[in-house]
């Protein structure tokens, strides 16, 4: 038994951190988030493909690296730390769904090579989880409207979920942007009236949901770790009443709680990833628990980080708000806390 | 990363499970709700249970065989705790002796002390209580004032200990006493004292549960042979901190098993009572998630042990997590059960599954004993996060 990363996994973490430090310094991430309408940088997307990140979990036969959820969690944690904008998690999930469906090798090769951008069109509602419209597959066509489709405007193809199953739909799409406060993520409302291919039954989504939960939880872990780090640095330098503010117990105890939440999230995320990779009987429960807990933990850690920075924490200039906003997106999407709680209850037979 | 138990560990676990199945008469929750059970009868039962475990070689898990232990690894210790929790076996009577004094003697005691005290400790022939807290020294333990003055070959003890767990049930006490009034930490020594020594008075204290697991111990010119000093004069603080580390060390996994079982019971009861609305389900869901995360923390610690790491200050994170969660869990449980959740176990209408009121009340203790939540947060802030002290 061993919780620490293997040599290869530790190497992956280090090389990913090095890569993101040089390719995605926070200044660059800010520039893309604030000024690039697509919400990601096309040249950087090509670099991610070149480095093998897009095919991380895909089989070697389509140009992937054949790695598992633990490795994916490592990369996503680093991406979360870097506040890397773009559809990385969305494309990885679409790839996993295509791979699970089978028979999509040509598209997967393009996806891994960064030549085609595919995401999953899931939500049937702009607001609560109750569907306002349901997208259906009938007579070889998908008709309906999907909301909060990740990076819809940039997508070459979408995987639309319908009661009939998962459908592969090729663009172009009729997209209305749905701008949110999180500039690292772009969403669109997509009106479908497209020829489509049924690639698999709805049950395909079950394992994809588990991977989505672990993946989003890993990004949340990265975001909260980075916020906690920034805050720990700040409270040791910022002086008030002739002391570094980190010397005050009022802050120390809250920082201790932030540490507890962050490290507990780490335990939960990597355990869930391990369960996923080994098909452990606890996979459903572990993945749901990791995501539900990570969402709450990130809200606390990122929010407290803003609070402890005081006035500067409320400025656009400081990077913290980008993490704070990311955390809200990740909490709501990829299976909201409400959804994960119900999944956990079901998995435990409650 | 690999979270799978090895074949050796699985074998150890399966043997232990089989042994528990054959040897545990009935789960602890059944003992508690036996109408004839008294505090005395339950203590007697815990003594018998300890002797059974001892005979089977399941006590002093981590100690060398030479000292009557099993020479087990940290992983086996953790598996043991988890299986005990799964079987809902009673806690052994000499819990404090074995979890705290035993390690103190093994690491800091003399050969003669180990030979004298360890065998009866394991056999439950001599029960130990812990004399740390005082009326004026709780979280600020180093401000303790009970004094030990050398007089010839004896120490003379004067002072008072309080919140002394097992005090009313013990034969011996290990005492932190001041041997130098001027040196705050270096003036504390670790001394063993028999409770029937002239000048010692033990009084029961009634806890909020109605039970008297703890008490207070008064020392009035109590003469203790110098041979009962553990380590050197002035080493008491260091020894106490080492043994408290053991007390705090592991446990998340065992707690998650216990809480998980009670939580499943709570969910089943809510269903039976028709309490399945969204508010109830959200509460159950949040408890379940926290318990799973606690389990993940426990698995991580276990895997770190297996990988050769020793417990460090991070154990404060685990203690803070389980004890605070225990409070939230037990409180939510009696809320979800409605007014009936507050019935004491002697009521015919009380739920027979879990003694919810006792658990609810006991949960208030976990965030106070063995370093309060406030102390755990101090430890995390200073020793994990390296934050500056307030005096700077």
Indicate which CATH number applies to the domain containing A60.
Answer: 1.10.540.10
- Facing B284 at nearest CB: one of A248, A274, A345: A345
Q: A211 and A323 share a domain?
A: yes
Contact status of A236 with chain B (Cβ, < 8 Å): yes
Interface probe, candidates B1, B73, B383, chain A, greatest A C-beta count within 10 A: B1
Please list every residue in chain B whose beta carbon sits closer than 8 Å to the beta carbon of residue A248: 390
Return the H-helix or E-strand segment holding A239.
Answer: strand A239-240
- To the nearest whole Å, the CA of A260 is away from the closest chain B CA by 6
Tens digits of residue pLDDT in A44-78: 999 999 999 999 999 999 999 999 999 999 999 99
Please list every residue in chain B whose beta carbon sits closer than 8 Å to the beta carbon of residue A292: 285-286, 289
Q: A320 and A215 share a domain?
A: yes
What is the three-class DSSP state of B86? helix
Please list every residue in chain A whose beta carbon sits closer than 8 Å to the beta carbon of residue B8: none
Q: A183 and A213 share a domain?
A: no
Cα B258 to Cα A36, A38, B322: the distances in Å are 52, 50, 11
Q: B 280-319 residues with CB below 8 A of A?
A: 281-282, 284-286, 288-290, 292-294, 296-297, 299-300, 302-304, 306-307, 314, 317
Q: What is the CATH number of the domain that holds A145?
A: 2.40.110.10
Please list every residue in chain B whose beta carbon sits closer than 8 Å to the beta carbon of residue A1: 2-6, 9, 75, 302-303, 306-307
Where does a domain end: B71, B93, B115? B93
Contact status of A237 with chain B (Cβ, < 8 Å): no
Contact A117, A151 (CB under 8 A): yes
> What domain range is B77 assigned to?
7-93
Tens digits of residue pLDDT in A195-232: 999 999 999 999 999 999 999 999 999 999 999 999 99
Contact B76, B95 (CB under 8 A): no
**From CA B157, how far away is CA B190, in angstroms rounded?**
12
Q: A74 and A158 share a domain?
A: no
Q: What is the CATH number of the domain that holds B278?
A: 1.20.140.10
Residue of B nearest to A342 (CA): B285
Contact status of B124 with chain A (Cβ, < 8 Å): no
- Facing A1 at nearest CB: one of B4, B282, B388: B4
Q: Which pLDDT belongs to residue B249?
A: 53
In a domain, B116, yes or no: no
Residue of A nearest to B287 (CA): A341
Q: B148 and B67 share a domain?
A: no
> What domain range is A19 assigned to?
7-112
B286/A259 touch (CB, cutoff 8 Å), yes or no = no
- To the nearest whole Å, the CA of A315 is away from the closest chain B CA by 25
Reported confidence tier of residue A7, pLDDT bands at 50, 70, 90: very high
Where does a domain end: B184, B207, B233? B233
Q: B370 and B267 share a domain?
A: yes
Pairing of strands B229-230, B188-194: antiparallel
Q: B288 and B219 share a domain?
A: no
Q: Which pLDDT belongs to residue A129?
A: 62
Where does a domain end: A177, A202, A227? A202
Q: What is the CATH number of the domain that holds A297?
A: 1.20.140.10
In a domain, A232, yes or no: yes
Please list every residue in chain A whose beta carbon sits closer than 8 Å to the beta carbon of residue B2: 1-2, 274
Q: What is the pTM of this model?
A: 0.95
Q: A217 and A332 share a domain?
A: yes
Q: A 57-96 residues with CB below 8 A of B?
A: 70
Where does a domain end: A68, A91, A112? A112
In a domain, A246, yes or no: yes
Interface ipTM: 0.96
> CA torsion, points A237, A238, A240, A244, in degrees to nearest 10?
-30
Q: B378 and B313 share a domain?
A: yes
**From CA A296, how far away is CA A261, in angstroms rounded?**
9
Q: Which pLDDT belongs to residue B65?
A: 87
What is the three-class DSSP state of B161? strand
Q: A182 and A236 share a domain?
A: no
Q: B31 and B139 share a domain?
A: no
B288/A289 touch (CB, cutoff 8 Å), yes or no = yes
Sequence-distant (≥ 6) Cβ neighbours of residue A99 within 8 angstroms = A57, A58, A59, A62, A108
Interface probe, candidates A260, A269, A344, chain B, greatest B C-beta count within 10 A: A260
In a domain, A2, yes or no: no
Q: B294 and B372 share a domain?
A: yes
Q: A196 and A259 share a domain?
A: no
Q: A 305-344 residues with CB below 8 A of B?
A: 338, 340-342, 344
Domain count, chain A: 3
In a domain, B1, yes or no: no
Please list every residue in chain A whose beta carbon sits closer than 8 Å to the beta carbon of residue B383: none
Q: A100 and A148 share a domain?
A: no
Q: A341 and A209 share a domain?
A: yes
Phi, psi of B343 (to 5 degrees): -70, 135
Q: What is the mean pLDDT of residues A82-86?
A: 97
In a domain, B208, yes or no: yes
Look at chain A and count its residues: 350
A350/B288 touch (CB, cutoff 8 Å), yes or no = yes
Least confident stretch, A122-136, A147-161, B88-102, B225-239? A122-136
Q: At what angle do helices B315-336 and A249-278 cross, to 10 degrees?
A: 80
In a domain, A161, yes or no: yes
In a domain, B389, yes or no: no
Q: B27 and B76 share a domain?
A: yes
Where does a domain end: B208, B233, B258? B233
Q: Which pLDDT belongs to residue B246?
A: 66
Q: A212 and A198 share a domain?
A: no
Q: B287 and B350 share a domain?
A: yes
In a domain, B292, yes or no: yes
Domain count, chain B: 3
Where does a domain end: A112, A134, A163? A112
Q: B262 and B369 share a domain?
A: yes
- To the nearest whole Å, the CA of A248 is away from the closest chain B CA by 6
Q: B 67-86 residues with CB below 8 A of A?
A: 75
Q: B258 and B372 share a domain?
A: yes
In a domain, A11, yes or no: yes
Hey, which bits of B226-350 come out as E strands? 229-230
pLDDT tens string for chain B (392 positions)?
Answer: 899 999 999 999 999 999 999 999 999 988 988 889 998 999 999 999 999 999 999 998 888 888 888 888 888 988 999 999 999 999 999 999 998 999 999 999 999 999 999 999 999 999 999 999 999 999 899 999 999 999 999 999 999 999 999 999 999 999 999 999 999 999 999 999 999 999 999 999 999 999 888 999 999 999 999 999 999 999 999 999 887 766 555 688 999 999 999 999 999 999 999 999 999 999 999 999 999 999 999 999 889 888 888 777 778 999 999 999 999 999 999 999 999 999 998 888 999 889 999 999 999 999 999 889 999 999 999 999 999 987 54
Q: Which pLDDT belongs to residue B392?
A: 43
Sequence-distant (≥ 6) Cβ neighbours of residue B286 within 8 angstroms = A292, A341
Instruction: List % helix, strand, coil for chain B (3-state, nearest 5).
Output: 50, 15, 35
Q: Which pLDDT belongs to residue B241?
A: 86
Half-sphere exposure of B17 (CA within 13 A, CB side): 9
Tens digits of residue pLDDT in A264-303: 999 999 999 999 999 999 999 999 999 999 999 999 999 9
**From CA B236, how far away is CA B131, in angstroms rounded?**
12
Q: A327 and A194 share a domain?
A: no
In a domain, B390, yes or no: no
B304/A263 touch (CB, cutoff 8 Å), yes or no = no
Q: B213 and B266 share a domain?
A: no
Contact status of A246 with chain B (Cβ, < 8 Å): yes
- To the nearest whole Å, the CA of B131 is away from the closest chain A CA by 28
In our burial notation (b when 16+ CB lie closer than 10 A, e otherwise), range A40-65 reads bbeebbeebbeeebbbbbbeeebbbb
**In this structure, how many other beta carbons lie within 10 angstroms of the beta carbon of residue B187?**
19
Please list every residue in chain A whose beta carbon sits closer than 8 Å to the beta carbon of residue B387: 232, 235-236, 246-247, 252, 255
Q: A88 and A123 share a domain?
A: no
In a domain, B104, yes or no: no
Q: B158 and B221 share a domain?
A: yes
Q: Which pLDDT belongs to residue A128?
A: 72
Q: What is the CATH number of the domain that holds B192?
A: 2.40.110.10
In a domain, B380, yes or no: yes
Q: A 287-306 residues with CB below 8 A of B?
A: 288-290, 292-293
Contact A205, A211 (CB under 8 A): no
């Amino acid at each position: 038994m061993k919780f620490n990363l293997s040599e290869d996994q530790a190497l992956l973490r280090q090389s990913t951190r090095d890569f993101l430090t040089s390719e995605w310094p926070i200044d660059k991430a800010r520039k893309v988030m604030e000024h690039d309408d697509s919400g990601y940088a096309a040249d950087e997307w090509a670099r991610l493909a070149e480095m093998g990140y897009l095919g991380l979990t895909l089989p070697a036969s389509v140009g992937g690296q054949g790695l598992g959820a633990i490795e994916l969690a490592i990369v996503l944690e680093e991406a979360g730390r870097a506040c890397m904008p773009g559809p990385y998690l969305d494309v990885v999930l679409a790839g996993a769904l295509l791979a699970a469906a089978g028979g999509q090798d040509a598209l997967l090769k393009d996806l891994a090579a960064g030549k085609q951008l595919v995401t999953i069109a899931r939500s049937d509602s702009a607001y609560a989880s109750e569907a306002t419209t349901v997208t259906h597959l009938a007579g070889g066509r998908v008709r309906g409207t999907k909301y909060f489709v990740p990076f819809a405007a940039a997508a070459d193809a979408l995987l639309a979920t319908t009661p009939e199953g998962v459908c592969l739909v090729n663009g172009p799409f009729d997209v209305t942007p749905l701008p949110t406060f999180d500039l690292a993520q772009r969403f669109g409302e997509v009106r479908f009236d497209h020829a489509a291919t049924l690639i698999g039954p709805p049950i395909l989504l079950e394992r994809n949901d588990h991977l989505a939960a672990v993946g989003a939880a890993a990004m949340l872990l990265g975001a909260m770790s980075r916020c906690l780090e920034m805050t720990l640095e700040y409270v040791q330098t910022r002086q008030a009443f002739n002391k570094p503010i980190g010397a005050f117990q009022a802050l120390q105890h809250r920082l201790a709680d932030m540490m507890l939440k962050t490290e507990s999230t780490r335990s939960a995320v990597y355990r869930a990833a391990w369960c996923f990779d080994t098909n452990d009987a606890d996979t459903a429960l572990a993945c749901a628990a990791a995501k539900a807990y990570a969402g709450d933990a990130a809200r606390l850690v990122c929010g407290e980080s803003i609070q402890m920075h005081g006035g500067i924490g409320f400025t656009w200039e400081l990077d913290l708000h980008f993490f704070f906003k990311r955390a809200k997106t990740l909490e709501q999407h990829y299976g909201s806390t409400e959804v994960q709680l119900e999944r956990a209850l079901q998995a435990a037979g409650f | 990363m690999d979270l799978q138990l090895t074949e050796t560990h699985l074998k150890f676990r399966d043997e232990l499970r089989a042994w528990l199945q054959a040897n545990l008469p009935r789960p602890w929750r059944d003992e508690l709700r036996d109408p004839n059970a008294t505090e005395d009868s339950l203590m007697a039962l815990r003594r018998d249970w300890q002797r059974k475990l001892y005979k089977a070689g399941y006590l002093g898990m981590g100690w060398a065989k030479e000292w009557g232990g099993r020479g087990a690894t940290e992983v086996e210790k953790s598996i043991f705790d988890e299986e005990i929790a799964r079987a809902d076996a009673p806690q052994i009577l000499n819990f404090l002796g074995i979890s705290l004094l035993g390690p103190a003697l093994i690491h800091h005691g003399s050969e003669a002390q180990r030979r004298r005290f360890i065998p009866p400790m394991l056999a439950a022939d001599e029960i130990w209580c812990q004399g740390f807290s005082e009326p004026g020294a709780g979280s600020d333990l180093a401000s303790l004032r009970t004094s030990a003055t050398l007089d010839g070959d004896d120490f003379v003890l004067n002072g008072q200990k309080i919140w002394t767990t097992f005090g009313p049930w013990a034969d011996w006490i290990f005492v932190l006493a001041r041997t130098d009034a001027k040196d705050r930490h270096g003036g504390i020594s670790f001394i063993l004292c028999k409770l029937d020594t002239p000048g010692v008075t033990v009084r029961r204290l009634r806890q909020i549960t109605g039970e008297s697991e703890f008490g207070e111990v008064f020392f009035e010119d109590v003469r203790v042979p110098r041979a009962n000093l553990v380590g050197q004069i002035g080493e008491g603080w260091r020894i106490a901190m080492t043994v408290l580390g053991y007390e705090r060390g592991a446990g998340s996994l065992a707690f998650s098993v216990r809480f998980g079982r009670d939580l499943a019971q709570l969910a089943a009861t809510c269903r039976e009572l028709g309490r399945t609305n969204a508010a109830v389900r959200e509460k159950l869901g949040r408890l379940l998630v926290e318990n799973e995360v606690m389990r993940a923390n426990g698995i991580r610690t276990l895997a770190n042990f297996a990988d050769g790491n020793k417990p460090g200050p991070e154990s404060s994170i685990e203690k803070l997590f389980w004890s605070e969660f225990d409070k939230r869990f037990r409180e939510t449980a009696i809320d979800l059960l409605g007014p009936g959740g507050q019935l004491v176990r002697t009521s015919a209408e009380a739920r027979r599954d879990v003694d919810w009121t006792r658990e609810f009340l006991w949960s208030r203790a976990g965030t106070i004993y063995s370093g309060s939540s406030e102390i755990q947060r101090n430890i995390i802030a200073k020793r994990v996060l390296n934050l500056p002290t307030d005096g700077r």
